[in-house]
Every structure is written in structure tokens, then in C-alpha cells.
Amino acid sequence: MADIPATMVKELRERTGAGIMDCKVALQESGGDAEKAIEYIKKKGLAKAAKKAGAIAAEGVVHAYIHPGSRIGVLVEVNCQTDFVARSEDFKSYVELVGLQIASMSAQYARREEVPAADIAKQTEIFTAQIEEEGKQSGKPRPAAAVEKIVAGKLDKWLGEVCLDEQPAITDQDKSIGALASELSGKIGEKITVRRFVRFELGEGIEKKQSDLAAEVKEALASS
């Protein structure tokens, strides 16, 4: 797909109220033509969904997903506006997809605006150090302005990978989890949002003891 400038995405978002990823996809599908992109958004019902962005979504479900083998588990809260929609098959299918997505793709945040500033600063520091190290190794250090631009690109890519809302859906790589939520919202007429989630992986965070078999045998022989 064509590379779409962030300024075009911003302008389309302001004109339609649709989500950032929805605007980006619309522009890509329209070859960068803003008017065709607006038509695309209207046809997909994304503009209708955007109008409900300010609505309060306090109903929904807390869904538990356990991956086969019981080594990975997910708890996720997905909200809608009415209990009626929460019981619908379309909503349930989306919730199940979200649980599977989090388990499979290890999302860390629901959306990029919720990423803590400290995490962004830490990742920026890592990317900057990597680029500076590459410059030292090659003997061709990059100018500060170039480093800043590269880091910004890497950070944008990283956010797209770790934010659930922007991850390509495992069932349809051409659409993000956020885009599918917008489509569903346009279809059922209610705001749909993933509020929060937690992912568990068996043994995660536990420092496992490293055994040295040779040393253990030597110690056993010495004490016998």
C-alpha cells in the first residue's frame, strides 16, 4: 500500500471524525485521494461510528480466554452501550477475537494515547542508543537531525506493534483490531471499545534456576 503522510491522515480525521487507523486505511485504499477516502469512510459506516465516540460505553463483558495448553491466559473488558448489544453474536465474536489477539500478539496497551510517557521515553532512549552504536560500528555517525527522524519512525512502528487498537487482526491482516471495532460500531449503532486487559503467561517473571549437571555430579561424588 502507498505511504500516506501523517498530515493527510490528520486532515481526514478532522473532516470525518473517524479513527486514525481508519483514515490511514481509507487514504491507502483511495490512492491518497481525500474525497474518495471520505466516500470510503462513509460506505464503511466509520463516520457514523465516529459520531458515537463521545458516548458512554459502560455495558459489555469481561471475557476470559485460555489458550490451548493452558500456558497463556487473557482477561479483557470490552464495552458497549447496552446490555442488548453485549448479548449479540456479533459483539461476542469480536470479544473472542480480541482475547485471541492479545494472547497471540502480546499487546501491551489498548491504544497509543494510553502508553505512559515513561515507557515512550525509555523506548526512545533505546532506539537512540541503537542508532548511535550502529554509527560507531560503521564509522559513519548520523547527524542529530537524522537520528531524531529515524527514532521517530522506529517509535511509530513500535507503537503500532504493541498497541492492540493498531495491530492487524489475526483473522484479517488488512484490518486492525480498532478498524474492526469501528466497523462493528457502525453496523450495530453503538460505541465499541476495549477498555483494559491483562495477559498471563505461565512462568512469566519467575527466575528459573539454571542447573549445572556436571557440577552437581562432581559435588555428589566428593561428598560420597
The pTM of the full predicted model, rounded to 2 decimals, is 0.66
CA dihedral 156, 158, 159, 162 (to 10 degrees): 160
Q: What is the CATH number of the domain that holds 41?
A: 1.10.8.10
Q: Is the pLDDT of residue 91 over 90?
A: yes
Of 141, 159, 177, the one marking the end of a domain is 159
Q: Is the pLDDT of residue 217 over 60?
A: no
Predicted local distance difference test score (pLDDT) of residue 99: 96
Predicted local distance difference test score (pLDDT) of residue 224: 56
Q: Is the pLDDT of residue 50 over 80?
A: no
Residue 22 vs residue 158, higher pLDDT: 158
The 8-class DSSP code of residue 164 comes to: G
Within 44-195, residue ranges assigned H as helices are 46-51, 83-86, 89-105, 117-138, 144-162, 177-188
Q: Is the pLDDT of residue 73 over 90?
A: yes
Predicted local distance difference test score (pLDDT) of residue 168: 95
Residue 112 vs residue 209, higher pLDDT: 112
Predicted local distance difference test score (pLDDT) of residue 3: 75
| Mean pLDDT, residues 90-94 taken together | 96
Predicted local distance difference test score (pLDDT) of residue 187: 87
Predicted local distance difference test score (pLDDT) of residue 26: 87
Residue 165 lies in a domain: no
CB 74 within 8 A of CB 200: yes
Q: How far apart are CA 90 and CA 22, in angstroms?
A: 20
Residue 104 lies in a domain: no
Residue 72 lies in a domain: no
Total domains present in the chain: 2
Residue 178 lies in a domain: no
By C-alpha distance, which of 26, 89, 140 is closest to 97? 89
Residue 58 lies in a domain: no
Instruction: Residue 221: count other Cβ atoms within 10 Å of its Cβ.
Output: 8
Residue 6 lies in a domain: yes
Q: How far apart are CA 142 and CA 140, in angstroms?
A: 6
| Mean pLDDT, residues 23-41 taken together | 87
> Among 50-54, 92-96, 207-211, 212-216, which is the least confidently predicted range?
50-54
Of 51, 67, 91, the one marking the end of a domain is 51
Which residues form the domain of 126?
Answer: 116-159
Tell me the pLDDT tens digit for each residue of 138-190: 888 888 888 899 999 999 999 999 999 999 999 998 999 999 998 998 888 88
Residue 193 lies in a domain: no
Residue 147 lies in a domain: yes
Neighbouring residues of 145: CB distance < 8 A, sequence distance ≥ 6: none
Predicted local distance difference test score (pLDDT) of residue 213: 55
All cell numbers assigned to 168: 492487524
Q: How far apart are CA 219 and CA 170, in angstroms?
A: 51
Q: What is the rounded radius of gyration, in angstroms, for the C-alpha atoms of the chain?
A: 23
